[in-house]
Amino acid sequence: MTLNQYKDDFKSNFGWKDSISIGKIDNNKEKAVCFYNSQRGNPYVGTMGGKNNRTTNIKPITILLRYTKNQDVAEQEAQKIYEFYEDRTFFIGSKRIFTMMSYNAPINLGTDDKNVYEYSIELDFYEER
């Protein structure tokens, strides 16, 4: 699965209407979300008998949210996105996807140089093979 497929699923099923991207967020928008391949260090998990015997692939993703200059409004939107993915099982095409949150809440990153609040949501997608 690609970041673009996850982005498209989020846009459709969450109903996101503002700026959405993969790999690079639009810093000129006050309301934006971006999907990144996560830089979290997940250790390699081998499979007995090789990857053909593996039942899932793991795709760690970071979702970055830029959302207004109001901290309370930004926190509420970050929480909505977190709850959308928490314990979610869904399909992209014929692949079943399970989610596992990396933290127990969105991570407040403070504000950027334009005083827009940013939050990070860290999760792993387990893609059924």
Q: What is the per-residue pLDDT across 50-95, written as a single tens digit (0 to 9) for each? A: 666 556 678 999 999 999 999 999 999 999 999 999 989 999 999 9
**Average pLDDT, stretch 6-26?**
96
What's the total number of domains in the chain? 1
Q: Residue 7's domain spans which residues?
A: 3-43+53-128
CATH number for the domain spanning 107: value is: 3.30.2000.30
**For residue range 33-45, what is the model confidence (pLDDT) as tens digits?**
999 998 776 665 6
The mean-pLDDT minimum among 8-12, 55-59, 124-128 falls in: 55-59
pLDDT average, residue stretch 82-110: 95
Indicate whether 20 belongs to any domain: yes
CB neighbourhood size of 15 (10 A): 8
Which residue matches tokens 């809440």? 105
Pinpoint the alpha helices (H) of the chain.
Answer: 3-14, 71-85
Q: Establish if 48 belongs to a structural domain.
A: no
